[in-house]
Chains A and B, each alone.
Chain A
Amino acid sequence: MEFLNWVRGPGLEYATVIFLVGILMRFLEMWLIGRKPDLSRPRASASRAGWRAVWRRSLPSEGLMKNSPLVMIAGYVFHIGFLLVLLFYVPHIHFFKDVLGFGWSGLPTPVINFLSILTIAALVALLIHRLIDPVRRFLSTSQDYIVWAVTTLPVVTGYMAMHMDVMPYTTMLALHILSVEILMVVFPFTKLMHAFTFAVSRYYNGAAMGRKGVQL
């Protein structure tokens, strides 16, 4: 109980502060470097192509499906599953409503259950693939594995807390919240930042390509 009180009290406060301060820092660090204006005469609207790329690159591409089907499918399943569970599990919505002041309707628990299992399976598949695939194994640093672990833990502990087979609910809930806090603390200092910066990089790339008249 003391543990739970710590994780949902001061622990959550520390994590929130580190998370927000860290993300803002990273964003400003990135933005304030700035970029020189492009003096070449554009063939087409850069900004339109930029915004298009932000959306367009969320869609699966045929080539990737052919080359790395596992990363592609497991990647989609994990990202979508994770987001749905995060945003549409009723207790989570209660949490957000509490903090934000507004809520939304959630998905039925059996759906969330199913999504959690799918997400965990996809994450495990991605880890195995990272260990087996020559390219991904070669590229991977310890950070890649740490990030995998801190992303997977909240899903696993959350699922376990819902089903309470292993440990008392309190302990499991506390571990779940703690794992989320670890994720939040690690977030600004690792590649997890891509969850926010992906839109920025897609925009820059899309705009650079788009002003040349290439839409990808």
Chain B
Amino acid sequence: MGGLSDIPVVTAADDVASDTAITPAVQALLMELADRLEVFRQTGETHVIDLRSLPMPVAEHELLREWLGVGEVRIELDSLGPTAIHETAYPGIWWVVHRNRDGEVMTQQVEVTACPEIIRSQQEDIHEGLQRLREALPTGESA
């Protein structure tokens, strides 16, 4: 035996994913997203789905991600570890992956919104940044 990679491993979800183009769970999520997008369009109410809380294998997360596709916007945040955000092929639906400093996934969310809240500059940070900016400004005395 050459090594671990020689052991044929087939996971149930791989099987499911290859057998059918869509699983019932993914279909249900897509329907939920469509409904939520409609609500958001009409009322402005945002929505977040936490994928980790759903009983599905990781492979199904991937399936959902493939279904949603990739749109025009990609954003990288560096805040307590990297966060990768992209707008899916359906504007208004965002894919958000928070990682910690070790690169491990903390949460993986699908947001229905015009722009994920975390991208905006936060009041507290603006306040703190302003202070820093003022402190950093060269004063007239030194000029």
Q: Do A and B contact each other directly (Cβ–Cβ < 8 Å)?
A: no
Tell me the B residues contacting A by CB distance below 8 Å: none
Tell me the A residues contacting B by CB distance below 8 Å: none
